[in-house]
Structure 1
Amino acid sequence: MGCGTVGTEVLRLLQDQPEEFAARTGAPVQVTGVAVRRPHKHPEVPEHLITTDATALVEGDVDVVVELIGGIEPARSLLLTALKSGKSVVTANKALLAEYGSELYAAADAAGADIYFEAAVAGAIPLLRPLRESLAGDRINRVMGIVNGTTNYILSAMDSTGAGYSETLDEAGRLGYAEADPTADVDGFDAAAKAAILASLAFHTRVTATDVHREGISAVSPGDIAAARSLDRTVKLLAICERVVDEDGTESVSARVHPAMIPRSHPLAGVGGAFNAVFVEAEAAGQLMFYGQGAGGAPTASAVLGDLVAVARNLVVAGKGPRESAHAQLPVRPMGGTPTRYHISLDVADKPGVLSQVAATFNEHDVSISVVRQQGRGDEASLVVVTHTAADAALKSTVDKIAQLEVVREVVSVMRVEGEPS
């Protein structure tokens, strides 16, 4: 279902290598039909396969449904129809999984069908299966990554050229890295859906896209990029999923997407262009990093076909793939209670007592300061403060109070800091 950039590659590879797929799965893999909305736009699809009736195709004599439509409807209804009739599903639909994953899992379990979705996050990178299967015996504490190529290209270009956000976005559009309407990417919706899937798998807890705190990159300025560079850091849009343990031992899950400064020594800092990378921290396995092409027809088709082979193998041997694992049922922590660090740039009056007033405000909110840098410019000065870890709400309240101080002319920028000791 669906034959766009990814679907076309899936179909081509299946048709070009039938013997290979038969050998890998233990039985021939035959395409029964391809459902599209506008057949005349798909000359690559053989006429005897193409149809506009996706429902009839799903209800027909097929073993596996590959969904590459995207969006919520009609994909949700079609996949539920397939699963309830015992047909296994391969999907790349991150938005659907992030909102209705539990419903799809339940339908699959009830009918004894499989649902695989490696291509939903990070394109060709083998990431979800390691979380779902390879690390199933480990305790994952943190998953942090770059999961959107458009925003990574923009921020990488801003870092290397010094250009502003708007002009870099325009250039990304001209080069094909940004959609005509880039909202889903630059406002963080795409990354938030992926973060929900990652958190659900990593922490055995149902996390939806609405549970994920989301901020985009449109407010990131050349000044932010320059400030990061002065501290030997760079700015990335990060999806961060972590297990938070309170002093009394109570556990919860934090899932968030926002721009953040990370040290240039961190493995994620060197991920440039439209590439994706995800950094996983587990108790027994330690630190793992998954890196590669996060989008594109052929790379994403690779992940789709890997799932298709897995599903087909299960059908051949009458086996089943992994089921949903949500036994932990940890609460999702609101952003205000999530421990974070801030980098704060201020324009202040250049006179005695300024630093003590700013420091006193931090102390009032029980926020500890890690780094302070002050540079005079005539009767003004720039003041940079990097905090230790504190609850995000406390940090936000501190910044709001600092903005009201008479000695503070402007809060120039506020950005979270990740990837280094707190």
Structure 2
Amino acid sequence: MNRSRVAAFFSSLSFFVVAALVAGVVVGALAQDADAPLVTSGLGMIEALGQVWLNALRMTVIPLVFSLLVTGIVSIADAAATGRMAGRALMVFAILLVGATVYAILAGLGLLQIWPIDPQAGAALLAGVPADAAQTVGVAAHTDGFQAFLASLAPANLIRAAADDGVLAVVVFAIAFGFAATQVRQDLRRPLATFFEAVAEAMVVIVHWVLLAAPFGVFALALGVGLRAGLGVAGTLGHYVAIVCLSQIGLILLTYIVAVVWGRIPLGRFARAVAPAQVVAVSTQSSLASLPVMIERAREGLGVPQASAGLVLPLAVAVFRLTSPVANLAVCLYVAQLSGVELGLPALIAGGLTAIAVSIASVGLPGQVSFFASVGPICLAMGLPLGVLPLLLAVEVIPDIFRTVGNVTADLAATRIVNGPDEAEEA
């Protein structure tokens, strides 16, 4: 599959999805004002079509996440075996990811406490979501405490857990399976990793096919929202975009602080070094496309040797997405408040662990694919409904820009931290 063509396809698809969202809400609102019985009577069929499209996406979540986790862990283990610097880089990535996840939960809850969702607007938005899609599922939200939560991590029947959307249990098993795969003989490990890589690619192709119908699916769901909620839903979607973007902006600012303190570099120098890479990130929304300028800026602006930059930055692009848990958890926390789901500590831990795991699994996927592959499992692990996600996907264009900018900034910060200051700076 030609990745540049796929990226171009999804870039053009985003326009049609946004247009379908706007058209669906407007047509629904006009039908509501006009009291059109024909449209209203056909709402059930329209919602059914939207639900079929949503289910087609959901059916790929478990096999896609499992396969990507296994191949991701095997690739990380192989990278760590290549040398001390690669191992140190992976350690830095892990520490930063854990810190970002803790920040994501605190920032998401804090922002929604300071600037909560308008209850009437939120209820109006949910009123347009089909009833079946609005049901709360998953294990984490139904646990009564840590004993039940811990028991859910290792169910007696993994297949049943997967069928019941027990995503966290599947993620735990996939991680264990992936590390176990790194311990088998190389002649056995290679075909095993290749098999799961092929499964993941096949799932991406299926998602690709399903997303071809995204404008129709989003239009069907948005029409129901427009009929029930009217044009007021635009304010809720704008509020959602602001919350997710603010969470990521806070992470980007913290990344500057981490680079200065841990990377031992002046703030002004780091800011000047990363700015050109951030500009490329905004224009391309791709960390991979930003890689050449990142390597150049690491060498010229951050004082990182060419050999170090050439090792750490490609590794970062391959397995390190710092904004993934932040943006994905911001989405899930928004869905929780929107749906009126009270999240206890077990649900937050389940969401955080799943967010870290799928941050590896979602690497290299187009934005629309990674949105469902990342946010869907976290929602399921936290016991949250998925029905509203297609509408949030339609406005993902703006948050996705901050995802890429944050990842590029974090990649360069991590590269500086791994390499440390040069001899001239230490002197």
Q: Same fold (TM over 0.5)?
A: no
More helix by share: 2
Higher strand share: 1
The one of the two structures with greater contact order (alpha-carbon pairs below 8 A, sep at least 6) is 2
